Each structure stands twice: as C-alpha cells, then as structure tokens.
C-alpha cells in the first residue's frame, strides 16, 4: 500500500475540498454536494508517462487530468481527462478545451463532429451499455486506473481491461502538462490511493562516435514516440521551438578518483555548441571524471517540451551510463531559460548550477513576445502566466534545496544585461536563503573571452560540488 502523507508536489484547494485521510487523497464530503469542479494538480509537467492509481467513486463523477493546465483566473483545468462515473468509467474526455469525448468504452467510433458524436449522445449510448460495461470492467468499490501516454498515443485501462487506445491527430495539442485529480460538481466524496507516476525514458538511435576535447564523443537521437525516427521532419516550426532531440555525450578521459560519476548538462546545444570556446573548461572536467552531455531543444525559451527533453536525457544518462543522480548544470546565454526552468521542477536531480552570462528573465531576452510562440501562447497569455515559466520567479524550490549557484557575467553585456539577469537572480536567491556567488567581469560584454570562458573559479566550483562534498 503506497500511502500519501503530504501534499508535497501537488497544489489545489486544500482548505475545504482536498484532504488526506489514512494515506488516501479525499475530495468532498459524504453529506454535501460539491458546488463546482475542483482539481488537485501536480506542480510540475509530465510528457510521456504511465500513471497507476486506485479510485473510489460511489455514484459520483470524477476523473484524472493529464497533459493539462489550469485555466487562468478560473477553477477549471484544461486538457485530457481519463473519466470515471456511473456508465462512463474508462472514457477519454477533453476537459475545457474541445469539450467532448474523444473515446467512449463500448461505443463504436463515430464522427465526433456529428450529432452522434456530441457528449450527450455518447453518454446516452454509454448509459445504455452501463450494466454490460461495468460487468466487463469488474467495477467494484475500489477500482484500478492505468493511464499510459506516449507521444500522441493514449491508452487507458480499468481493472486491467483496455478501454481506450486513442491517437491524437491535432498537432496543436500539447504533449506535456500537469496531472490532476478531479471531483466533479454535484459529487459528494471521491477517494484516490496508491498513486504512482512513472516517466517513460527514450531510446538512443543513430549513434555516431567521434572525438572532441581528446575524449570519446557519442552523438545520437533520443527516439520520439510521437514522431518516430523522422524527428521533426516536415515540421520546421516545431523543430525551431522544440528541438530535434539530437543529443551528445562526451565520456570522461579517466574515472573520478573517488569512484563517483559526476556529470555536466550543458545548454544550449544548438548551432555548433559546445565548441572550441569550451575546450579549456571541458578538458579539465573530463580529466577529473566528468561526463558532459546536452540535447537540442531548439529555441524553446525554457518551454515545457524543452524541459521534458531534458528529463528524457537525464533518465537516459542515469540508466544507460550510470552517472550520478544529481547533475551539475552549465547554462550559457539563452540556455539559462532552459536549464533553470527544468531545475525548478527537478531540484532533487540538481547538484549545482554554474552559468556563463545566462538569461534569467524572459522579459529581458528574448522578450515576452519573442518567447510566446515557443509556449504556444499569445503575448498577453504568456505575460499573465510568466511567473510559471520565468527563472527569476521560480527560485524557491532551488533555494529550499540549498543548491549552490555561481554565475560569471560581464558588466557591459548589452544582449543579456547583468542587472536584469544574473544580478537580480543572485539577489533574489540570497534573499530566499540560497547559496549564490556572482563573478562580475569588468568591461566585458556578451562575448567569448578568456576572462569569462577560462574562468578557473567556475571550473573549481564544478570540481568541488561534482564530487558531492
């Protein structure tokens, strides 16, 4: 029995609606009807995953949201819902978005744009099959729900019976988002227990071996189940904002003396980066047992798809190369948006962060309008949700985990201004109690120069924290 003890990792209305009893997450009250839909959401996004839980609904309506987001200034959540209620257990609904069923267990596939595909018509058909379906699904007091999302393919099971096998055809529908538990308006009490979320790792394909920095370099593509082996071929807009999933790993010249397996995640891995300018630093790290890796997430500006790609790479390195479970992060320039947004959602996976003039504020670079396309939002929508995606507003989890930070930044940087980026992050982080140091390089801008790229204190920072002292 997996018991839930706190709401850590979840957020929602926990004063009146959601509570924990005997290790179960409970919503509503047996003697009162729920006035409106309420959701308990994860605080981080998930891309490809398998979720397993048990639910007890009685005669009530509820469900599990996934790849979803909260509707701004509203109690609703928008996205996929694995539904459950009398007659519609195991159905797939699109909550507060297309507002229709995408698949209904026991009902033959119909044109969802037709009258027969309207929610009311489908519910009517499902209710007519209720007794038969509940017998097939072995509906009991407690029931097991399994949700597996891989790229555009979604499968649902109730009590080990497959109820939905659906493939999303709309390329505009996000393949990442929050997971949430729902209690529907009019319901009394719903209970959830034994919740397990397992993220699915990617496989490396098209591996090519070469040499860089006098070490072995392996270039590969992390297979995307959503697009197969063709990556983003034929979808240049997606590749620009979400990357190609092309990754690299550079193996250490010799193992670390203490037997640890430290590693460094570098961003951005676009154009020709990392390149000759990183040689001085990387050779020292490789000689001290560091593995160095990165993945192309395009001009993602730290969007959820880019964060999901970093998680894929992290899982791949840990599983296939046996590296440490805490990674040192090196963001350079706009890599700061990518790295910090991932770190804020994965503080338990981060050892330290050392940056080369990193972007820390979307409003500073590339600007809210410039980043909005990567987030599939309008400028106003992104501005309204900026605090959810902006590194300088997402420091609390890192500070709470006491993750050390060191930035090297020129005071004449006109592209990524010091005062709007590293300086404000440094000050906010220290105010939150986080350990932070800032090396200001006088007279230097957004440039490649020895004072910034051959910074021994930054190398020493990684060497010190990389051995987990």
Is residue 2 in a domain?
A: no
Of 165, 199, 233, the position where a domain reaches its end is 199
Tell whether 188 and 223 lie within a shared domain: no
465-468 long-range contacts (CB < 8 A, ≥24 apart) are 465/328, 465/351, 465/352, 465/404, 466/256, 466/260, 466/262, 466/264, 466/285, 466/288, 466/289, 466/290, 466/328, 466/351, 466/352, 467/256, 467/258, 467/260, 467/262, 468/260, 468/262, 468/324, 468/326, 468/351
pLDDT at 226: 41
Is residue 77 in a domain?
A: yes
What HEC string does 411-424 produce? CCCCCCCCCCCHHH
Tell whether 272 and 405 lie within a shared domain: yes
Tell whether 280 and 415 lie within a shared domain: yes
Q: How far apart are the first and last CA of the chain?
A: 36
Is residue 4 in a domain?
A: no
Of the candidates 353, 361, 301, 348, which has an alpha carbon nearest to the alpha carbon of residue 330? 353
Q: What is the pLDDT along the chain (469 residues), one digit of tens a residue?
A: 677 889 999 999 999 999 999 999 999 999 999 999 999 999 988 888 999 999 999 999 999 999 999 999 899 999 999 999 999 999 999 999 999 999 999 887 766 667 666 877 888 888 888 899 899 999 999 999 999 998 788 999 999 999 999 988 887 888 889 999 999 999 999 999 999 998 876 678 888 999 999 999 999 988 654 433 333 334 445 555 666 788 999 999 888 877 789 999 999 998 788 999 999 999 999 999 999 999 999 999 999 889 988 988 998 898 888 899 899 999 999 999 999 999 999 999 999 999 999 999 999 999 999 999 999 899 999 999 999 999 999 999 999 999 999 999 999 999 999 999 999 999 999 999 999 999 999 999 999 999 999 999 999 999 999 864 4
Tell whether 461 and 380 lie within a shared domain: yes
pTM across the whole model:
0.64
Query: Could you tell me the CATH number of the domain that includes residue 195?
Result: 2.60.120.560
The backbone region for 160, taken as left when phi is positive above 0, alpha when psi lies in -120 to 50, beta otherwise, is left
Tell whether 223 and 314 lie within a shared domain: yes
Tell whether 190 and 285 lie within a shared domain: no
Query: Could you tell me the CATH number of the domain that includes residue 352?
Result: 3.40.50.1820
pLDDT at 242: 64
Q: CA–CA separation, 267 vs 354, rounded Å?
A: 11
pLDDT at 62: 96
Alpha-helical runs (H) found in 266-409? 279-287, 304-316, 335-345, 368-372, 379-384, 396-400
**Contact in structure between 47 and 151 (CB atoms under 8 Å):** no
Of 181, 199, 217, the position where a domain reaches its end is 199
Q: CA–CA separation, 355 vs 363, rounded Å?
A: 19
Is residue 243 in a domain?
A: yes
Number of folded domains in the chain? 2
Give every CB contact of residue 200 below 8 A, 6+ residues apart in sequence: 48, 49, 50, 150, 225
Of the candidates 51, 139, 49, 25, which has an alpha carbon nearest to the alpha carbon of residue 89? 139
Tell whether 420 and 369 lie within a shared domain: yes
Tell whether 150 and 183 lie within a shared domain: yes
Tell whether 235 and 378 lie within a shared domain: yes
Is residue 41 in a domain?
A: yes
Is residue 92 in a domain?
A: yes
Tell whether 186 and 290 lie within a shared domain: no
pLDDT at 207: 87
Tell whether 367 and 432 lie within a shared domain: yes
Is residue 1 in a domain?
A: no
Q: CA–CA separation, 83 vs 156, rounded Å?
A: 10
Tell whether 153 and 218 lie within a shared domain: no
Is residue 66 in a domain?
A: yes
Of 137, 169, 199, the position where a domain reaches its end is 199
Structural domain including 401 reads 204-466
**Contact in structure between 291 and 261 (CB atoms under 8 Å):** yes
């Amino acid at each position: 029995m997996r018991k839930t003890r706190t709401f850590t990792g979840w957020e929602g209305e926990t004063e009146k609606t959601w509570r924990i009893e005997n290790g179960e997450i409970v919503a509503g009250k047996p003697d009162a009807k729920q006035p409106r839909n309420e959701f308990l959401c994860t605080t981080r996004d998930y891309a490809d995953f398998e979720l397993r839980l048990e639910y007890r609904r009685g005669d009530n309506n509820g469900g599990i949201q996934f790849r979803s987001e909260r509707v701004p200034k509203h109690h609703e959540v928008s996205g996929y819902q694995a539904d459950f209620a009398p007659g519609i257990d195991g159905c797939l609904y699109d909550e507060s978005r297309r507002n229709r069923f995408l698949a209904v267990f026991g009902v033959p596939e119909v044109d969802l744009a037709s009258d027969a595909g309207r929610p009311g018509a489908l519910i009517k058909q499902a209710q007519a099959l209720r007794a038969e379906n509940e017998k097939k699904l072995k509906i009991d007091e407690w029931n097991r729900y399994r949700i597996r999302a891989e790229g555009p393919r979604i499968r649902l099971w109730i009590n080990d019976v497959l109820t939905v096998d659906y493939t999303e055809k709309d390329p505009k529908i996000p393949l990442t988002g929050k997971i949430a538990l729902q209690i529907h308006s009019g319901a009394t009490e719903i209970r959830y227990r034994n919740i397990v979320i397992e993220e699915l790792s990617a496989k490396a394909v098209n591996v090519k071996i070469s040499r860089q920095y006098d070490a072995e370099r392996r270039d590969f593509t992390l297979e995307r189940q959503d697009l197969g082996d063709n990556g983003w071929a034929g979808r240049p807009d997606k590749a620009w904002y979400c990357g190609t999933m092309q990754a690299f790993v550079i193996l250490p010249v010799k193992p670390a003396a203490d037997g640890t397996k430290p590693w460094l995640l570098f961003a951005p891995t676009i154009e020709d980066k990392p390149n000759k300018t990183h040689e001085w630093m990387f050779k020292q790290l490789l000689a001290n047992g560091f593995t160095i890796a990165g993945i192309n997430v395009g001009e993602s500006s730290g969007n959820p798809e880019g964060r999901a790609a970093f998680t894929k790479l992290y899982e791949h390195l840990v599983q296939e190369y046996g590296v440490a479970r805490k990674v040192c992060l090196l963001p350079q320039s706009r890599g700061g948006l990518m790295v910090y947004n991932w770190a804020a959602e994965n503080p338990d996976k981060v050892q330290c962060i050392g940056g080369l003039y990193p972007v820390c504020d979307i409003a500073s670079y590339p600007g809210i309008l410039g980043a909005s396309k990567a987030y599939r939002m309008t400028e106003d929508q992104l501005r309204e949700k900026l605090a959810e995606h902006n590194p300088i507003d997402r420091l609390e989890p890192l500070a709470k985990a006491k993750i050390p930070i060191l930035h090297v930044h020129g005071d004449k940087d006109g592209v990524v201004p010091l005062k709007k980026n590293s300086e404000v992050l440094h000050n906010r982080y220290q105010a939150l109690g986080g350990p932070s140091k800032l090396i200001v390089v006088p007279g230097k801008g957004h440039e490649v120069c020895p004072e910034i790229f051959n910074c021994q204190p930054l190398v020493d920072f990684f060497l010190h924290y990389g051995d987990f002292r």
